[in-house]
Amino acid sequence: MPDFYPMTSREVVVTRHDYADGQRFDPHHHPRGQFAYAACGVITVFTDEGDWVVPPGRAIWVPAGLPHAMCMRGPVTMLNAYILPATQQRLALAGHCQVLGVSELLRHLLEQAAQVPEHTLASERDEYLLGLLLHEIVRMPRLALNAPLPREPRLAKICRRLLDQPSLENSLDEMAREAGMSRRTFTRLFRQHSGVSFVEWRQQACLLAAIVRLGNGEPVTRVAMELGYSSPSAFATVFRRALGESPSRYLQ
């Protein structure tokens, strides 16, 4: 993704762009930190640390200099706040990717900031607007919408395959055999290198896939059954437990 912001000394500059369904950006990085808000559509982000899913109305923080790729799921309108590295450090913004909630206030601030003229000195009102925008970004809650990749090469290979085709039917024993490990060794190494159990990680991978598919308008029943859940109600229960809301309400 090219840097669609002007050369400026401002701490933060905000842009707005529309993207087509399926549009991809190969691995790249920005000299500024990127706060990417999905005004509509779903964004998936890929890094060496794992995959991230940004539902409509949420955002992802990508620190300055971090290589990442992006893919648009459905037509996407994205508002990006590009933040200077020095400002990123001053505000103690994370040095790794995070999916974040977006308040109503922050949404309005992003929309207003995208209208600030690019090539003129910012007015006093614009300076206050951009300053408040930065402080509101800092306050946003972190959302657990990623599947971390283990550092161990055999486990990372398996996890990357599961991210491409996630299903609850991928059993622990099957994955241990594929990795050439005993069940006990696989279980121990997986938690050691990912911080969670394989079952928890598999559940998260399925939830990320579900968010993308639901965001594209697929029916809950089809998504639940194809991901290996015993019923739509079982899927809704797991979804609500993990994300706090039912699938339909979460994506409203």
Residue pLDDT, tens place only, 60-74: 999 999 999 999 988
Report pLDDT for 123: 83
- Assign 4 a pLDDT band (cuts: 50, 70, 90): low
Determine the average pLDDT of the residues in 195-220.
90
Same CATH topology for 12-143 and 148-250: the answer is no
pLDDT at 119 exceeding the cut of 80: no
Amino acid (one-letter) located at 194 = S
Q: What span, in angstroms and rounded, lies between the C-alpha atoms of 99 and 118?
A: 27
- CB-facing half-sphere around the CA of 75: CA atoms within 13 A: 1
- Residues 6 or more apart from 91 whose CB is under 8 A from it? 83, 134, 135, 137, 138
CB–CB of 110/37 below 8 Å?
yes
Residue pLDDT, tens place only, 12-51: 999 999 999 999 999 999 999 999 999 998 999 999 888 9
Amino acid (one-letter) located at 75 = P
Question: 54: which strand partners?
Answer: 43
Residue pLDDT, tens place only, 131-153: 999 999 999 999 988 888 888 99
Question: 217: which strand partners?
Answer: none
| Domain spans, the chain | 12-143, 148-250
Domain 12-143 annotated CATH 2.40.50.100: no
- Assign 186 a pLDDT band (cuts: 50, 70, 90): very high
Question: 5: which strand partners?
Answer: none
Read off the tokens for 193: 């290198």
Q: What span, in angstroms and rounded, lies between the C-alpha atoms of 79 and 39?
A: 7
Mean pLDDT of the chain: 91
More reliable by pLDDT, 203 or 215: 203
8-state DSSP, 231: -
pLDDT at 90 exceeding the cut of 80: yes
Report the share of the chain in percent with pLDDT over 70: 95
148-250, CATH topology level: Arc Repressor Mutant, subunit A (1.10.10)
Phi, psi of 49 (to 5 degrees): -85, -15
Report pLDDT for 206: 93
Q: What span, in angstroms and rounded, lies between the C-alpha atoms of 252 and 243?
A: 14
Determine the average pLDDT of the residues in 218-230.
93
Q: What span, in angstroms and rounded, lies between the C-alpha atoms of 126 and 27?
A: 33
More reliable by pLDDT, 61 or 164: 61
